[in-house]
Amino acid sequence: MKNAALKSIEQFLYTQSEYCDRQQWDEYLATFDENAEFHIPQWDSEHVHTTDPKREMSLIYYATRAGLEDRVFRIRTGKSAACTPMPRTLHSVNNVQGEEQADGTWKVKANWVTHFYRFGESEAFFGRAEYILRADSDSWKVLRKQAILLNDKIRHVLDFYHV
């Protein structure tokens, strides 16, 4: 059962990444539960990142999916100077590991790299992600995503579609 669930989770993460890369925003947003938390903590020191988004600095923090929905709204309406023009992205997800929790959710860890192209330049963001997922029919829903950005320099505006 564990191997089948992990295989299904891997496929879910690959599909979610493809939705993001193809800018299929409705499908991408649908992978998140309405109350899903999305967090990219800031580094507190060389090897320690912040842990409490309500008391410490974060690069991005949305307490619910509504934060992601607002970003997508701004992208679609052209009201986001940060993503005009919208960069092309390519997500690569690997080393997916997970454990079922006592409440039936899954705690999942994965590594990721997002290559992006904008203004004639190609760059990459990379890091680790931790998810809390729950089964949803024949797929999964994200209850929480925390992406740890490992880049030392952020030369471009960072947004949800970069992680």
Percent of the chain with pLDDT over 70: 99
CA angle, 154 as apex, 89 and 26 as ends, to 5°?
35
CATH of the domain at 86: 3.10.450.50
Pairwise CA distance, residues 78 & 110, whole Å: 32
Nearest alpha carbon to residue 132 among 107, 115, 152: 107
- Give the range of the structural domain holding residue 147, as residue numbers without chain letter: 2-162
Residue 83 pLDDT > 80, yes or no? no
Please name the residue that has the structure tokens 């997970």: 98
Count of the separate structural domains present in the chain = 1
Q: Return the pLDDT at 20.
A: 97
pLDDT tier at 1 (50, 70, 90 boundaries)? low
pLDDT score recorded for residue 80 = 78
Q: To the nearest whole number, what is the mean pLDDT of the chain?
A: 94
Q: Do 145 and 105 touch, CB atoms closer than 8 A?
A: no
